[in-house]
Amino acid sequence: MFEFYFGNLVDEMKAKYPEKNFLFILDNLHAHKSSLIMKIMNGEDRCKMLFTPSNSPELSPIENMFSQTKKTISKKYLVEKKEYAHEVTKILFGFKEGEIQKFYRRTFKNILGIWGSLNRQQLI
């Protein structure tokens, strides 16, 4: 499933921005390193991949969103699983555009902080 999505994303980005190069930043999920993903990226001179270190949620915007959701939900007293699921969904889908941009800015700031310590072998 991810391979299909990722292959389409690469094709769409290259078509939409023919003059640009791309760096895809992914965590170490097994699906992100599958042989099909590596085949898609093989020979892509305009696209590189950077895998973040294991256990580094500060380098993931979605993990930052989950963290904020967890903080918000922990302040509420919920008894039923249905209530809990409803509140989590409400919070996740209730983020404003500016809040989402903050998650991404924080993530990119963290990535730039480690960028200087990277070597070329970490870019695939």
How high is the pLDDT of residue 48? Answer: 85
Ranges of residues in the chain whose predicted pLDDT is under 50: 120-124
pTM over the 0.85 mark = no
Q: Give tens-digit pLDDT for 96-108.
A: 888 888 888 888 7
Q: Decide: 47 and 14 in contact? Cβ < 8 Å.
A: yes
Q: Three-state DSSP class for 121? A: helix
Measured distance CA(70)–CA(68) in Å, rounded: 5
Token pair for 93? 């889908």
First and final C-alpha spacing in the chain: 21
How high is the pLDDT of residue 115? Answer: 64
Q: Which ranges of 42-123 does DSSP label H, i.e. alpha helix? A: 61-74, 81-93, 97-115
DSSP state, 47? Answer: E
How high is the pLDDT of residue 15? Answer: 93
> Which residue type occupies 112?
L
